């Protein structure tokens, strides 16, 4: 066949997708992300404060051409009760990795009782891959394996057909050894690249409205509620001035604020430190208003 008669080369279809990792604290979400993005493992536990974002590009053949999927991977705080922050992060999400710990039965129950209902309320059905993590510590899955398979099938109707041979919507993984981590993310990338009807252009706006409504309904009854509201409020105030979440995270650490067990004193310190950080970006009057509003939120719960 002459060069002139060769079929035209298929181009590369490029997609940018927001992916979220969901699951309780200490199931290994941060370690899984590090294993996938950097091919590294760190067994020290570092609590995620707020949200961290990583990026990875996957490319694979499809329909005679190629697809390049750039994943922005959002690892959010794995504590129950931070629904405002979590809903805000979920808005605009295209797919997710849902993680439980095979050595802790309660983390699987938590997927059904907390994480998946919250996800569905904000985004509606999206492609999901389920990880039963720490298989190196529980080779048989301790009874979770079959239920993980059933749950993954329930949440992926209509997209499983786009998976390549051998790929699944659930995996037993190990961030420590790397077992099935890449395969799970690859499977999600294929589902995200599946040909389907163009999404409604107002979908992300609608999801943002749902997240805002969840935030309003949350109320301020506990210190966890206050910390949740404080993270959102500070992140939005600093947004556009570098990485807002990095600023919030640094001031929380400086204040000694443990988001899993916050104290009024640590929250008060964080509010003061955030005011100092915001003074680099905003006029004094705006910083004072933000500080006063946050102290008022704290006063509703802690008094004073």
pLDDT in tens, 122-177: 999 999 999 999 999 987 766 788 899 899 988 887 777 778 889 999 999 999 99
User: What confidence tier does 198 reach under pLDDT thresholds 50, 70, 90?
Assistant: low
Q: What percent of the chain has pLDDT over 70?
A: 90
Listed by start position, the domains of the chain span 13-192, 220-302
Pick from 69, 91, 33: which is nearest to 194 by CA? 69
92: alpha, beta or left? (left if phi > 0; alpha if psi -120 to 50) = left
Q: How many Cβ atoms are within 10 Å of 268's Cβ, its own excluded?
A: 18
* Cα–Cα dist 187/168, whole Å: 7
Looking at residue 189, what is its pLDDT? 95
Average pLDDT over residues 106-128: 94
204-224 average pLDDT score? 88
The two counts, helices (H) then strands (E), for the chain are: 11, 6
DSSP 213: H
CATH of 13-192, one of 3.40.309.10, 3.40.50.300, 3.40.50.2300, 3.20.20.120: 3.40.50.300
Is residue 58 scored above 60 in pLDDT? yes
d(CA 31, CA 286): 38
Span 210-219, average pLDDT: 87
pLDDT at position 141? 64
Q: What is the pLDDT of residue 4?
A: 43
Which of 9-18, 38-47, 99-108, 275-284 has the weakest average pLDDT? Answer: 38-47
Helix (H) or strand (E) holding 100: strand 95-101
b/e 123-157 (16+ beta carbons within 10 angstroms → b): beebbbbbbbbbbeebeebbebbebbbebbeebbe
Query: Band of the pLDDT at 1, cuts 50, 70, 90?
Result: very low
Q: In what order do the strands lie in the sheet with 65-76?
A: 51-62, 65-76, 12-22, 95-101, 128-133, 170-173
Residue 155 CA to residue 152 CA, distance in Å, equals 5
Query: Distance between alpha carbon 56 and the CA centroid of its chain, in Å?
Result: 14
How far is the C-alpha of 89 from the C-alpha of 81, rounded, in Å?
14
- pLDDT category of residue 246 using cuts at 50, 70 and 90: confident
């Amino acid at each position: 066949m002459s060069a002139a008669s060769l079929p035209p080369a298929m181009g590369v279809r490029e997609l940018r997708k927001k992916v979220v990792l969901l699951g309780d604290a200490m199931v290994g979400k941060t370690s899984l992300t590090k294993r996938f993005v950097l091919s590294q493992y760190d067994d020290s536990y570092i609590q995620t404060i707020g949200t961290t974002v990583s990026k990875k590009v996957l490319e694979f053949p499809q329909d005679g051409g190629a697809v390049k999927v750039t994943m922005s991977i959002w690892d959010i705080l794995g504590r129950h009760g931070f629904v405002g922050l979590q809903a805000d992060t979920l808005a605009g999400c295209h797919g997710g990795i849902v993680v439980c710990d095979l050595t802790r039965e309660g983390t699987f129950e938590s997927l059904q009782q907390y994480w998946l209902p919250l996800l569905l309320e904000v985004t509606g059905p999206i492609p999901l891959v389920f990880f039963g993590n720490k298989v190196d510590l529980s080779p048989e899955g301790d009874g979770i394996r079959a239920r993980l398979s059933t749950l993954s099938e329930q949440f992926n109707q209509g997209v499983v057909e786009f998976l390549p041979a051998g790929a699944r919507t659930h995996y037993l993984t190990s961030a420590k050894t790397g077992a099935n981590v890449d395969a799970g993310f690859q499977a999600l990338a294929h589902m995200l690249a599946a040909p389907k009807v163009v999404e409604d252009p107002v979908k992300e706006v609608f999801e943002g409205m749902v997240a805002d409504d969840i935030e309003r309904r949350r109320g301020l009854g506990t210190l966890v509620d206050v910390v949740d509201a404080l993270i959102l409020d500070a992140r939005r105030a600093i947004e556009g001035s570098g990485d807002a979440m990095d600023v919030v995270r640094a001031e929380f650490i400086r204040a000694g604020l443990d988001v899993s067990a916050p104290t009024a004193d640590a929250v008060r310190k964080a509010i003061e430190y955030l005011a100092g950080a915001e003074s680099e970006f905003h006029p004094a009057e705006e910083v004072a208003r933000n500080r006063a509003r946050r102290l008022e939120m704290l006063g509703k719960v802690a008094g004073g």
